[in-house]
A and B are shown apart, each in its own frame.
Chain A
Amino acid sequence: MNWAGLYTVLSGVNRHSTAIGRIWLSVIFIFRIMVLVVAAESVWGDEKSAFTCNTQQPGCNSVCYDHFFPISHIRLWALQLILVTTPALLVAMHVAYQQHQEKKLLVLTGHGDAKHMEEVKKHKMRIAGSLWWTYVCSVVFRLLFEAVFMYIFYMLYPGYQMMRLVKCEAYPCPNTVDCFISRPTEKTIFTVFMLVTSSICIILNMAELVYLVVRACARRSQHHSNPSSAKGSFYGHKHSSEYKQNEINQLLTEQDGSLKDMLRRNSGLQEKGDRCSAC
């Protein structure tokens, strides 16, 4: 399992994301993961072997390196990218669960053939109802992880700048010893670059959050002003069976036209559709 495997896992989620979500995923993979793998890892590759201290005292190098670099930038970025991308899997799990429910419904209504099952797999889920909440939670978690890691970076490496020279006094170094860091300017450039892309991702996430909230409010106000054309509440009032029926009908009416026609042709659902108030 490596970055390519993560890409395969996450590109499946992409289908059910908003447009901003897709842009965010592209920025993550191209400007952060790819830059990390293709460039940053070579810059930090010799970080320890080329960390030189002005002493021949055995162990002083190791100890000073460990004192100034408790966790390497590369590992922090790898952890950050993994933690930031995994909330999207919450959405994937929820979508899989909804698809499973749809398939069960189709089987119960006698449309359990392979063609209908394929339709369920292919059609795009609308971000409404409980899926909206899951999606919003995943965006909030992403923002949280990004902010936490930026703070950790700031705490461990104040000012984000890589110094050329550090003065070390840890045992077994005799008195104070000068230690020199390898490629400090290149490291500073990449640190600033990753910081900037991280900020862009935070902005994209905030924009996506605002977009989702505004869209939900607009839908809700449309529902209040014109209840007959409403397509169901986005609140999770899952306890009412009427809501459940409305949600099922909503799911059915949002299928591709062909599936809807197929179902209508087999008149079993026709009566339910007539009684539905959210269609």
Chain B
Amino acid sequence: MDWGTLQAVLGGVNKHSTSIGKIWLTVLFIFRIMILVVAAERVWGDEQQDFVCNTLQPGCRNVCYDHFFPISHIRLWALQLIFVSTPALLVAMHVAYTRHEKKRRFRNGEKIDIEELKNEKIHIRGPLWWTYTSSIFFRIIFEAVFMYVFYYMYDGYQMPRLVKCEAWPCPNTVDCFVSRPTEKTTFTIFMLAVSGICMMLNLAELCYLVIKICMKESRKAT
């Protein structure tokens, strides 16, 4: 199971999304997952072996690395992308359940075209509207949570060039140097910006769905 499989799974959900949802999925795959795989993973590739401390004390380097980087950026982004893309599976499950019910009715004797059933586009209304809106809501929550986790762990998104470490067994205070800090800062800011764009797309989609349903209700009332 890798990013390609996730893409295959989510591509199916794409069919039942709104246009904003489709744009969001494209931004997710091209500007986040692809950048992560093609560029960011190389930048963080040597993060531990090139983390150098100004001491020969055995174990000091490991301990300092662990102290300053409890979870690597790459792993956090991977988790973020997985969590953010999976609420769409709620929608896929609901659509599959609706189709299953229709097939059951067909088997019980109602006249429904099986082929048409497979290709039919499901409209986002009724209980599916609630499922879809919940999935967008969860996406927004996960994005916000991860952005906060990043901020909390790495004090402001910038990668310092030098960190001063005092953890045992390092003697007194020791200077440790982070590998490629400028490149890492650049990519952190880039991923943050795209994360912000995705959040805005999700908020826009939420507003669009709510406005659409309000208009429909007002039309029904009149």
Binding site for B on A (CB under 8 A): 1-3, 5-6, 9, 48-49, 57-59, 61-63, 65-66, 69-72, 74-75, 78-79, 82, 86, 89, 93, 97, 171-172
- Name 20 A/B residue pairs within 8 A (Cβ), A-sorted: A1-B33, A2-B3, A2-B4, A2-B37, A5-B7, A5-B34, A6-B30, A48-B50, A49-B50, A58-B175, A62-B178, A66-B183, A69-B183, A71-B186, A75-B183, A75-B187, A79-B39, A82-B38, A86-B30, A172-B162
B34 touches A58 (CB 8 A): no
- Complex: A48 Cα to B178 Cα, angstroms: 12
- Complex: A29 Cα to B42 Cα, angstroms: 21
Q: A69-B183, A172-B162 known; 16 other A-B pairs, CB under 8 Å?
A: A1-B30, A1-B33, A1-B34, A48-B180, A59-B162, A59-B176, A62-B50, A70-B182, A71-B182, A71-B186, A72-B183, A75-B43, A82-B30, A89-B30, A171-B162, A172-B175
- Complex: A154 Cα to B89 Cα, angstroms: 45
Chain A residues whose C-beta falls within 8 Å of the C-beta of B50 in the assembled complex: 48-49, 62
A82 touches B34 (CB 8 A): yes
Of the candidates A1, A48, A59, A93, the one whose C-beta lies within 8 Å of that of B177 is A59
- Grouping DSSP codes into helix (H, G, I), strand (E, B) and loop, the B interface class, with mixed when no group exceeds half, is helix
- Complex: A2 Cα to B30 Cα, angstroms: 9
Chain A residues whose C-beta falls within 8 Å of the C-beta of B176 in the assembled complex: 59
B39 touches A58 (CB 8 A): no
- Complex: A58 Cα to B57 Cα, angstroms: 13
- Complex: A61 Cα to B42 Cα, angstroms: 19
Chain A residues whose C-beta falls within 8 Å of the C-beta of B39 in the assembled complex: 74-75, 78-79
A119 to chain B, nearest CB (A): 16
A259 to chain B, nearest CB (A): 20
Given contacts A48-B180, A70-B183, A172-B54, contact A79 B30 (CB under 8 A): no
Chain B residues whose C-beta falls within 8 Å of the C-beta of A71 in the assembled complex: 182-183, 186
B199 to chain A, nearest CB (A): 19
- Grouping DSSP codes into helix (H, G, I), strand (E, B) and loop, the A interface class, with mixed when no group exceeds half, is helix
Of the candidates A62, A66, A75, the one whose C-beta lies within 8 Å of that of B42 is A75
Chain B residues whose C-beta falls within 8 Å of the C-beta of A48 in the assembled complex: 46, 50, 179-180
Name A78's closest neighbour in chain B (CB-CB): B39
Name B46's closest neighbour in chain A (CB-CB): A48
Given contacts A5-B7, A48-B46, A172-B175, contact A78 B52 (CB under 8 A): no
- Complex: A59 Cα to B162 Cα, angstroms: 9
Residue B212 interfacial (CB < 8 Å) = no
Chain B residues whose C-beta falls within 8 Å of the C-beta of A3 in the assembled complex: 38
B55 touches A5 (CB 8 A): no
Of the candidates A58, A63, A74, A78, the one whose C-beta lies within 8 Å of that of B161 is A63
A61 touches B183 (CB 8 A): no
Name B37's closest neighbour in chain A (CB-CB): A2
Given contacts A5-B7, A172-B54, contact A66 B34 (CB under 8 A): no
- Complex: A93 Cα to B19 Cα, angstroms: 9
A86 to chain B, nearest CB (A): 6
Name A8's closest neighbour in chain B (CB-CB): B7
B182 touches A66 (CB 8 A): yes
Name A171's closest neighbour in chain B (CB-CB): B162
Can you list, as one digit per residue, whether each of B45-89 has a CB less than 8 Å from chain A (1) or not (0)?
Answer: 010001011110000000000000000000000000000000000
Within 8 A of A (CB), among B171-222: 175-183, 186-187, 190
Q: Which of A6, A9, A59, A63 has the most CB of B within 10 A?
A: A59
Name B26's closest neighbour in chain A (CB-CB): A89
- Complex: A59 Cα to B30 Cα, angstroms: 35
Given contacts A59-B176, A59-B177, A63-B177, contact A74 B34 (CB under 8 A): no
Residue B29 interfacial (CB < 8 Å) = yes
Chain A residues whose C-beta falls within 8 Å of the C-beta of B54 in the assembled complex: 57-59, 172
A58 to chain B, nearest CB (A): 4
Name A79's closest neighbour in chain B (CB-CB): B39
Of the candidates A9, A70, A89, A97, the one whose C-beta lies within 8 Å of that of B186 is A70
Residue B147 interfacial (CB < 8 Å) = no
Closest 6 CB pairs of A and B: A59-B177, A70-B182, A62-B177, A58-B54, A1-B34, A1-B33
